[in-house]
Amino acid sequence: MSNPFISDTYQDVWKKHFIDNKIVTSFNCITKLKFFKNNWFPLFINFGKNMTNGITYQLANDVDVLKNKVLLIYDVPSYHQIKIDDPRIRLKKIKQYKGYSLDIEAYEDIDFFLKQKFNSKSRGKFRNYFNKLEKNHSVSYNVYDESVSYETYLDIMLQFKLLLENRFDDLGLENDILMKWSFYHDLTYQMLKEKRAILNTICIDDKIGAISLAFISESSIIGAVKAFDINYKSYSLGVLELLKLLEWSIKSNYKVFDFSKGNQAYKKRFIDQSYLFDVHIIYDSKSKGANLIAYILSNYFKFKQFLREKNLNTWYWKLRHKLA
């Protein structure tokens, strides 16, 4: 099973929701990845743009089709190596976000993981949260996969959306996932059926208290969207849901749990390595037009990263929430 974000399903659903009137372009030197063309320039942008949780690709030797062109590929993990043999074709990499991951292959079970990563005080806190939650409420833990019925799926996604709305209202932030919810709603069921995604839940008194959407590759679980009921903050539900998802991932013999984008503090307690998401700009170095486009794009993304490092993106989402 390859990268879920270059699957036909992911790319086709994304096209339907965001660029339905665009012509699909593919290049025989880049397998599986689809592109659409900019309206004015010989610039081709990958399907999914910055909505994936990591694009991987390879560039074959037959790059003649890239003559006079520029390719823009979002969110390529920095550990993913690209080899370009033709000196005419150049690659610019511009960092954009931090990513985090955990080598779960190193742990035989969740108890061993907790002993290796956390001291006895922290482990005691986790147990107390679980015990308190289960004592005070009727609790069930469920992982929904390809066997989920469509009726159950619809109910889960409705509750998922409500949890996200309440959570971000509480934070005073706008959320781009909610703005694109129809895409996630259409996508997730199909990805579940193709064994490319799971929904992990903690149900409290017959309602979802915490939930996450994760995508699946051959060896990795890739965290994408999380939400929890703010009425249960005292139980640290976000952490409990993560622990149950890690437990399932280890039992299912995955090698890596990829926390993906996002600089949330909780991730740093669980990860064992970090990496960067880069924007890749592939261009024909012998074309003056392609060189100019690549130059403008690289400076644009460098400026975006400068603003991000100054935390102006958080200010932007807070302002959008106030004006909504």
Query: 162-176, pLDDT tens digit by residue?
Result: 999 998 887 766 688
Q: What band does 133 get if pLDDT is binned at 50, 70 and 90?
A: very high
Answer whether residue 178 shows pLDDT above 60. Answer: yes
C-alpha 150: how far from its chain's center?
Answer: 23
d(CA 142, CA 202) in angstroms, rounded, equals 7
Q: Quote the pLDDT of residue 84.
A: 87
Between residues 85 and 101, which one has the greater pLDDT? Answer: 101
Query: pTM for the full model?
Result: 0.91
Tell me which amino acid residue 266 is. Y
pLDDT confidence of residue 83: 87
Number of other residues whose CB lies within 10 A of the CB of residue 184: 22
Higher-pLDDT residue of 83, 255: 255
pLDDT digits (tens, 9 = 90+) for 260-314: 987 788 888 999 999 999 999 999 999 999 999 999 999 999 998 888 877 665 5
Pairing relationship of beta strands 256-261 and 220-228 according to DSSP bridges:
parallel
Sheet with 273-284, edge to edge strand ranges: 24-27, 30-37, 43-46, 70-77, 273-284, 89-103, 256-261, 220-228, 207-216, 197-204, 139-144
pLDDT, position 207: 97
How far apart are the C-alpha atoms of 54 and 141, rounded to whole Å? 28
Mean pLDDT of the region 24-37:
92
Write the pLDDT tens digit of every residue in 214-246: 999 999 999 999 999 999 989 999 999 999 999
- Residue holding tokens 């261009």? 283
Q: What's the confidence (pLDDT) of residue 317?
A: 45
Per the prediction, the chain carries an average pLDDT of 92
Which of 241, 1, 243 is CA-nearest to residue 102?
243
For residue 323, pLDDT beyond 80: no
- The answer to whether 249 touches 221, Cβ cutoff 8 Å, is yes
Q: Does residue 40 contact residue 68 with C-beta atoms inside 8 Å?
A: no
Q: What is the pLDDT of residues 189-210, one digit of tens each?
A: 999 999 999 999 999 999 999 9
Spatial separation of the C-alpha atoms in residues 229 and 71, rounded to whole Å: 41
